[in-house]
Homo-oligomer: A and B are copies of this chain.
Amino acid sequence: RDAAAEHAARQRLDRMTKPPGSLGVLEDVAAQLAGTAGECPAPLPTPAAVAVFAGDHGVHAQGVTPWPQEVTAQMVANFATGGAVVNAFAAGLGADVVVVDVGVASPVGPAAGLLDRNVRRGTADLALGPAMTLEEARRAVEVGIEVATGLAADHGCLVTGDMGITNTTASAALVCAFTGASPVAATGRGTGVDDPTLARKVDVVTRAVARVPAPPTTPEEALAALAEVGGLEHAALAGFLLGAAAARVPVLLDGVIAGSAALVAAALCPTALEHALAGHSSAEPGAGLALRALGLRPLLGLDLRLGEGTGALLAFPLVASAARALRDVATFDSAGVTEK
């Protein structure tokens, strides 16, 4: 980020007709946006685009969710016809939705707004061995970079989204692998699984993470850990964050799938999250562990646990409002308001 633009934003925030600091967290957001844009005030981060990366998971065979695997493909069709929550939120917020098949188990589409970038028809079972090959992981990362680069050309803010039955299992494994957190602490109920299913999920995560000896310290180790215990949508999201950073566009993270992918992105490139903001604090425990490890404070706390990018999208108006305030609010001088 551009330190001079960020400093100018802080100075302008203190000259605006309001008590210093009274916009709380939004002052940090406004300054970050200026740093990302390299100018103060930053341009409005509009319109937003949410990219929903969809993938399936071989670990579904372990009985870690009550939902059938075909729901991933069915929800991709639902996104394409505008029937999901992410579509409703996006319509209200003026955001575009792009759905990317990066790893769905069965063929989907074609449909408007649906990109076929399938790298593999679902991962292998991460309970038993590597979820994917290094080459597959790399290709999925490249899909994310490509999508971010394309969207950044005509959008002011990128938003992470995901769909994949069982993807909270892979997310928990990634959080453990990249932060050293314990599987019990990082594994949550996802869509709301019962106690026996949660116990199976913790066991699966424990076995998978045992194959990653220590948190990755190099890009090569990060890619290997991603391939070992991650998902194709996680890989694509890591690439999406890299692409957003390269394009210097603000990017909003959704819940635990984005958070775990952000850990991968940061291990692939230390400055990958300079332009990222955490949209919300998901009810899934791994999300909080990931954000703390990354030093990101979530903007919203609404106990959401849906995914799709819904929580990040809901934070978009806060980001846009911060930018508007920095751009449009009068200063004490310009408005003729007396200072204390």
In-complex Cβ contact of A192 among B20, B23, B75, B283 (8 A): B20
Within 8 A of B (CB), among A68-127: 68, 70-71, 74-75, 77-78, 81, 83-85, 87-89, 91-93
A306: B residues at CB distance < 8 A? 18-19, 22-23
Contact code string A305-322 (vs B, CB < 8 Å = 1, else 0): 110001000100110110
CB closest chain-B residue, reference A192? B19
In the assembled complex, the CB of A52 is this many whole angstroms from the nearest CB of chain B, namely 13
Q: Which residues of B contact A328 (CB under 8 A)?
A: 83, 87-88, 91
B-contacting 9-mer, from A32-40, A211-219, A329-337: A329-337
Determine if B338 and A26 form an interchain contact, defined as CB atoms under 8 angstroms apart: no
Flag if A303 contacts B25 (CB, 8 Å).
yes
Contact with B along A197-222 (1 / 0, CB 8 A): 00000000000000000000000000
CB contacts (< 8 Å) of A84 on chain B: these are 17-18, 329-330
Residue in B78, B91, B337 whose beta carbon sits within 8 Å of that of A335 in the complex: B78
Name A's interface SS. loop
| A residues 1-40 in Cβ contact with B at 8 Å | 16-26
The size of the chain A interface, using a CB distance under 8 A, is 61
Q: Interface stretch among A53-61, A146-154, A180-188, A294-302? A: A294-302
- Determine if A74 and B302 form an interchain contact, defined as CB atoms under 8 angstroms apart: no
Contacts of A18 in B (CB 8 A): 84-85, 306
Chain B nearest Cβ from A14, distance in angstroms:
12
The one of B21, B22, B191 that contacts A340, using a Cβ cutoff of 8 Å = B191
Given A68-B338, A335-B74, is A305 in contact with B88 using a C-beta cutoff of 8 Å?
Answer: no
Minimum CB distance partner of A84 in chain B: B17
Given A24-B302, A93-B321, A299-B302, 20 more pairs with CB closer than 8 A: A17-B85, A19-B190, A19-B305, A19-B306, A22-B192, A22-B305, A24-B283, A25-B302, A26-B302, A26-B304, A65-B340, A68-B340, A71-B337, A78-B337, A81-B330, A88-B324, A91-B324, A92-B324, A301-B301, A302-B318
A-B contact pairs, 20 of them (CB 8 A): A16-B85, A19-B306, A21-B192, A23-B304, A23-B306, A25-B302, A25-B303, A67-B340, A70-B338, A75-B337, A77-B336, A85-B325, A87-B328, A88-B329, A92-B321, A92-B324, A93-B321, A300-B300, A314-B317, A317-B317
Interface residues of A (CB under 8 A from B): 16-26, 65-68, 70-71, 74-75, 77-78, 81, 83-85, 87-89, 91-93, 190-192, 283, 299-306, 310, 314, 317-318, 320-321, 324-325, 327-330, 334-338, 340
Question: What 5 A-B pairs come out closest when comparing CB atoms?
Answer: A83-B330, A24-B303, A19-B191, A66-B340, A22-B306
